[in-house]
Amino acid sequence: MATTMITTLERSSRAAARGLSDISIRNLFIIPTVLFLIVFNIFPLIYSLGYSFTDFRASTNAPANFVGLQNYRDLLNDPYVWSNFAITAKYVIISVAGQLLVGFGVAMLLNRDIPLKGLITTLLLLPMMLSMAVVGLFWKLLYDPSWGVINYALGLGNFEWLADPKMARYAVALTDIWMWSPFVMLLSLAGLSAVPKHLYEAAAIDRAGPFYTFFRITLPLVAPILMIAVIFRTMEAFKTFDLAYILTSQPTAELISIRLYKMAFQEWQTGRSCAMAYIVLIMVLAITNIYVKYLNKVKER
Amino acid sequence: MRKLVTSVLAGIGLTLACGTSVYAQEKSLTIFWAEWDPANYLQELGNEYEKETGVKITVETTPWSDFQTKAFTEFNAHGDAYDLVVGDSQWLGAGSTGGHYVDLTDFFKKHDLGNVMAPATVKYYAEYPGNSGKYWAIPLEGDAVGWSYRKDWFEDPKEKEAFKAKYGYDLDVPKDFKALRDIAEFFYRPDQKRYGIAIYTDNSYDAMAMGFENALFSYGGELGDYSTYKVDGHINSDKAIAALDAYKELYKFTPPGWAKSFFVEDNQAITENLAAMSMNFFAFFPSLINEASNPNAKNTGFFANPPGPNGDQFAALGGQGISVISYSKKQEEAMKFLEWFIKDETQKKWAALGGYTCSAAVLKSPEFQSATPYNKAFYETMFKVKDFWAVPEYAELLQQLNQRVYPYMIGGEGTAKQTLDALAADWNATFKKYGRVQ
């Protein structure tokens, strides 16, 4: 008995001499993080899920009444909501495809020995370091038909970018492409620099043309990192709010995030907007899941 | 010993300082309003109140775009950051039925405000539901939509001659909506970067509603029956359809890129030599007579919203009443401020500072009507105003109007009849949802 007590005391004194034990250090890092996640992520998530089954309006003092799946039914039968989803889908496709083409294209140009390569790369990264609100206001001025420089430079006269219902979403997407292509460029550059040089040398010995080299060597090896860029940018584009909100109020550019904001904070349809947020969440999860599966397939090749 | 005495004295000093600070806090009121000139005038008026009573008034402001969201976020949290709010007229339903506003019916009756204030301001800024005799605010800032115009363009002999030759009558302040349209068309000259008219077109919050209402009401149309909430046959009546067509017609003569314009852009249309005439709330006109903000100040004139084809003449109501917030811990102090605010002398000071008094006596006085180039037009308008729905679900009704009217106005989708039939169906469904109609 006395021996056991002495051994335990020795162990604890050794731990004390070392400072904190591994378990204590682990707990010190994990517990605050878990608590933070529970308080700020999981609790609101569950709480809002509860509200999504009620007719609660935060602007009134009336209690929340349980309405079952009515909010979900109403939203999924609302043609406006479907139109917002369609606008968002088109916007995501245009925006992400544009960023992919421009970003990867610029990365290909920069992936060679050119003078001032570092400075050019840094300058090209500037747009994505700016605040969305600033970019929105800046481009709003550029697009202005009366004093905007774009129409002046392109000789478009009074062409309306933001006021034209058909053009507005393309104008927002163009701004997003300008802002986020550098992100794709940065990832692509990392991928391109990782392609082993000897593969190109072997291709050159075999007299492979640039087309063959690109599609057989460059693209397959850079594809996984491009897929990561696509995942990030798709999720971000799906969530776009500030840029579209500042640039235009055209219904044809009313993304799902803007509709959700209006429903929640201008109309105070709290229960309904919670249901809408869950529909959006499920859609984003589904899209991301498809992408991740595809990414894994690309990696396996 | 010396150190000890110094420390004790410092401690006493600190305690007294804290005590004074708490005392000062109790003797203060915070009023929440949007960021614009009238809020600055109210702060100046509040400074007068502080001189008289020692109660510090702070007018806290936020940009218009955040005003509704910020106010209701505070209400929903039952926060006491603000003691009074100068809330939009549409908020009356949500503010009163949500329990955010203190019932001011007794205060209203005690001071006979129903007769002291201009009738329209009592009806639209204070009473909810309509004709119920229940009051939730004191009319503070009267406002309505009016028009500014370029006097120098209108008075140019060559322009006058050309106009008469084209339209057969004299170029002058428009006497009706037809003349408004003709003048807008006449001055629409894109090759000279000069345009006819600036109107409200923005489809966020209430800009589009406020703009369209000027045509709707003057054409004899109505949004609906405020007592029964019946909208079919009102918002899609023949008069309403003609009004929407007339408003859309005006859009043709606006400057390029005019699809998201509200009060800022409409004032710019005058200051930047863009348009001959511009719609705006009267509360935004002070900057148009200020040479520092408007190089054309001397050449800017003002007129009331013109009548429609049948002689009806109304305008969309702006403006706000001041309400005591039910979560405030200083409600008694707030009521004392309101008692001071409604006094005749205070109302005169309010008008002199630039605020739009709602006091019927001050509005009628020659001093008020001649104080600025637009006060007479304001006076005329304030007795011919109508407002949007003030029901708690007003924001949904606004959103539906924006979703229906905007694509027709700006995108040319469908016809005015299809647009307003669809809007009537939307509003009817919303009123059904909230149990106002069967």
pLDDT 10s digits, B261-293: 999 999 999 999 999 999 999 999 989 999 999
Please indicate whether, in this complex, the C-beta atoms of A163 and B259 are within 8 angstroms of each other: yes
Interface probe for A, chosen from B64, B76, B253, B433 (most Cβ of A below 10 Å), is B76
Following CA atoms A221, A222, A225, A228 in sequence, which dihedral angle do they give, to the nearest 10 degrees?
-110
Q: Which residues of A touch B392 (CB under 8 A)?
A: 57, 59-60
CA distance to partner chain A, nearest, from residue B112 (Å): 30
A146 closest CB neighbour out of B75, B256, B260? B256
Pairwise pLDDT comparison (B28 vs A14), residue with the higher score: B28
Cα B378 to the chain's mean position, in Å? 12
Please indicate whether, in this complex, the C-beta atoms of A165 and B410 are within 8 angstroms of each other: yes
pLDDT at site B383: 83
CB atoms within 10 A of CB A49: 14
What's the CA gap between B395 and A13, in Å, rounded? 67
Among chain B residues, CA nearest to A265: B69
Interface probe for B, chosen from A56, A57, A59 (most Cβ of B below 10 Å), is A59
pLDDT at site B102: 97
Nearest CA among A241, A264, A75 for reference residue B76 = A264
Using H for helix, E for strand and C for coil, what is the string for B159-203? HHHHHHHHHCCCCCCCCCHHHHHHHHHHCCEHHHCEEEEECCCCC
CA distance to partner chain A, nearest, from residue B392 (Å): 8
Among chain A residues, CA nearest to B397: A267
Residue A185 host element (H or E): helix A168-193
In this model, does residue B8 exceed pLDDT 60?
Answer: no
pLDDT at site A4: 53
B303 torsion bin: left (phi>0), alpha (psi -120 to 50), beta (else): beta
The SS3 assignment for A137 reads: helix
pLDDT below 50 — which residues of chain A? 1-2
Task: Name B56's bridge partners.
Answer: B28
Buried b (16+ CB within 10 A) or exposed e, A128-163: beeebeebbeebbebbbbeebebbeeeeeeebbbbb
The SS3 assignment for B34 reads: strand
pLDDT at site A18: 61
CA distance to partner chain A, nearest, from residue B326 (Å): 12
CA distance to partner chain B, nearest, from residue A265 (Å): 6
Q: Is A61 on the interface with B (CB under 8 A)?
A: yes
What's the CA gap between A254 and A238, in Å, rounded? 12
Q: Is B163 on the interface with A (CB under 8 A)?
A: no
CA distance to partner chain A, nearest, from residue B21 (Å): 34
CB B328 within 8 A of CB B334: yes
pLDDT at site B10: 54
In this model, does residue B20 exceed pLDDT 80?
Answer: no
- The predicted model gives B115-137 an average pLDDT of 92
pLDDT at site B19: 46
- The predicted model gives B395-422 an average pLDDT of 94
What's the token pair of residue B136? 């939730």
In this model, does residue B107 exceed pLDDT 90?
Answer: yes
Please indicate whether, in this complex, the C-beta atoms of A163 and B403 are within 8 angstroms of each other: no
Packing angle, helices A79-110 and A168-193, rounded to 10: 40
- The predicted model gives B423-432 an average pLDDT of 96
Q: pLDDT, tens digit, for every residue of B369-384?
A: 998 999 988 998 888 8
pLDDT at site B22: 45
pLDDT at site A265: 87
A251 closest CB neighbour out of B256, B393, B406? B406
pLDDT at site B205: 82
Q: pLDDT, tens digit, for every residue of A256-278?
A: 999 999 999 888 899 999 999 99
Using CA of residue B160, residue B166, residue B171, residue B173, what is the dihedral sign?
Answer: negative
Using CA of residue B208, residue B213, residue B214, residue B219, what is the dihedral sign?
Answer: positive
**Half-sphere exposure (Cβ direction) of B410: Cα atoms closer than 13 Å:** 32
Question: How many angstroms separate the Cα of B425 from the Cα of each of A267, B20, B224, B412, B420?
Answer: 18, 60, 12, 20, 8
Of the pLDDT bands very low, low, confident and very high (cuts 50, 70, 90), residue B409 is: very high
B257 closest CB neighbour out of A59, A61, A163? A163
Percent of chain B with pLDDT strictly greater than 70:
94
- The predicted model gives B14-35 an average pLDDT of 67
- Selected residues 150-189 of chain A with any CB under 8 Å from a CB in chain B: 158, 160, 162-166
pLDDT at site B300: 97
Q: pLDDT, tens digit, for every residue of B313-350?
A: 999 999 999 999 999 999 999 999 999 999 999 999 99
The pair phi, psi for residue B314, each rounded to 5°, is -140, 170
CA distance to partner chain B, nearest, from residue A268 (Å): 8
Q: Is A58 on the interface with B (CB under 8 A)?
A: yes
CB B137 within 8 A of CB B321: yes
Complex confidence, ipTM: 0.76
CB B96 within 8 A of CB B128: yes
Tokens 């002199």 belong to which residue? B352
Range from A15-24, A215-224, B76-85, B241-250 carrying the lowest mean pLDDT: A15-24
Mean pLDDT of chain B: 92
pLDDT at site A16: 56
Say if residue A63 is preceded by a cis peptide, omega within 30 of 0. no
Residue B278 host element (H or E): strand B275-281
Q: pLDDT, tens digit, for every residue of B162-173?
A: 999 999 999 999
What's the token pair of residue B154? 């209108």
- The predicted model gives B22-43 an average pLDDT of 84
